[in-house]
Amino acid sequence: MATAFKVPFAPRGSLLGPDEAAAVAGIVCSPQSLSAGVWRQRFEARFRDYVGTAHALSVTSGTVALEIAVSLLDLTEGDEVIVAPQTYQAMVQPLLDHPARVRFCDIDPRSLNIDPVILERMLSVNTKAVILVHYGGCPADMSRIMSAARGVGALVIEDCAHALGAELGGRRPGALADIGCFSFHSSKNITTLGEGGMLTFDRDDWAERVDRRRSNEVDATFVARVPGVKAPLALQWMRDAEHIYQSACSTVRRAGTNATLSEAAAAVGLVQMDKLQGFVERRRSIAAALDEVVARQPGFTTVRAEPDARHAYHLYTFLAGCREERDLLLCLLDGRGVEIQLRYFPQHLRPEWALRGHRPGECPVAESSWFDRHMNLPCHPGLSDAQVEYLVFAVEASIREVVVSRARPSHAV
């Protein structure tokens, strides 16, 4: 049996309530289609308005959103894609299916986002795209990143899995670059019944390609009707059949798939959008209380967002001074019943990327962050006031013990 933590990292199910249950019940009891209908359209329209892009297309997960986004890049041999290493594996994994060379760009130790100074040095005419995450919901330095990327004609994909509810200079992640990818997994800022995702962008040609791919049509270039080919008479009244007989492909880029978000999931997403602001405010207030006790002690560094940014605090992260202190803190918090989940292992060191020649030393900041300094604390909106109060107490007491241990000849872990 799993240990019951006094403060779980993410209390389960707490984001959903009677409003979501009613939305699902309404659909279960209605004669309407359970797939690809009016609820999906409503959810997408709402999302598009919120993010501020011309298009928002829902899919079954954030992973599928990223897979489709990467396929829109039409990568070929000789192309390079620059990615951030401190992220969930689903952000970089789609690149394993493409011929492009992948380069990992180190992170800025203050924000834990891709470091724009290093990125500027890595960009070249071969860079087809940059894929970054707004780590933990802290918006990356997009004005600098976008002008650098534009300078070499590279596209930028934002992994917004953590960043729904964040803002930068009055604009929203998902509309700050070329393509935004969102996740509505149960662990994220809102959920569409456990799984779901969304792509956001402005380009109409991409909307057509994404819509085809998610609904079992091939992503292809079509040319004018094939002369002389006629639909059999019996089928001529069927518009679909006529279209098939009249079209020809010049290239097939990729097979289609079925990535349709169910109507029930979309309806729940719509209800969750109403609650988003409240969820994020709760996350921000927990983070503010934690910041106060963490920043009070020397040797512990809180994450700094850009001055015009609103951090969504999908993750609350801070850095300890060294491995001994981080590990001691982990043990002390665990002993006090606070569940810690560290996110994320540097992607370039995973076996699949090591196989492609990536090595330790490639991203020293991300590596030292993960192995020596990185800490995540619970900051989930479903935590009760009593749990938050206890969390703040436990963090303060544990940090104080770590500070006291500095006076001893050697750290005891």
Ligand X SMILES: *Cc1c(COP(=O)(O)O)cnc(C)c1O
> What is the C-alpha separation between 110 and 108, in angstroms, rounded?
5
Interior/surface letters 118-136, b for 16+ CB within 10 angstroms, e for the rest: bbbebbeeebbbbbbbbbb
86 binds ligand X (CB under 6 A): no
Q: Does 63 bind ligand X (CB under 6 A)?
A: yes
C-alpha of 136 from chain center:
9
Asked if 370 is part of the footprint of ligand X (rule: CB under 6 A), the reply reads no
Structure tokens at 25: 């019940």
Quote the CA–CA distance of 324 and 326 in Å, as a whole number: 6
Considering the complex, what minimum distance in angstroms separates the CB of residue 311 from ligand X? 15
Q: Binding to ligand X by residue 269, rule CB under 6 A?
A: no
What is the sign, positive or negative, of the torsion defined by CA atoms of 325, 327, 328, 330? positive
How many H-runs (helices) and E-runs (strands) does the chain carry?
12, 14
Out of 43, 47, 88, 300, the only residue in the binding site for ligand X (CB under 6 A) is 88
Q: Which stretch binds ligand X (CB under 6 A): 111-119, 159-167, 354-362, 370-378?
A: 159-167
Q: For ligand X, which is the closer residue by CB, 7 or 84?
A: 84
CB 250 within 8 A of CB 204: no
Residue 24 is inside which H or E element, if any?
A: helix 18-28
Q: How far is the CB of 62 from ligand X (least distance, A)?
A: 3
Query: What's at 310, amino acid-wise?
Result: R
Within positions 93 to 152, which residues make up the interface with ligand X, using CB under 6 A? 133
In the complex, the smallest distance separating the C-beta of residue 34 from ligand X, rounded to whole angstroms, is 21
Determine the size of the site formed for ligand X (CB under 6 A): 14
**Residue type for 159, please?**
D
The single residue among 161, 176, 280, 287 that binds ligand X, judged by CB under 6 A, is 161
Which DSSP helix (H) or strand (E) runs through 128?
A: strand 127-133
Q: Exactly one of 87, 113, 127, 387 binds ligand X (CB under 6 A); which one?
A: 87
Binding segment for ligand X (CB under 6 A), chosen from 28-36, 55-63, 252-260, 290-298, is 55-63
Segment contacting ligand X (CB under 6 A): 58-66, 68-76, 113-121, 236-244? 58-66
Kindly state whether residue 90 participates in binding ligand X, applying the rule CB under 6 A. Answer: yes
Can you give the binding site for ligand X, defined by CB under 6 A?
61-63, 87-88, 90-91, 133, 159, 161-162, 183, 185, 197
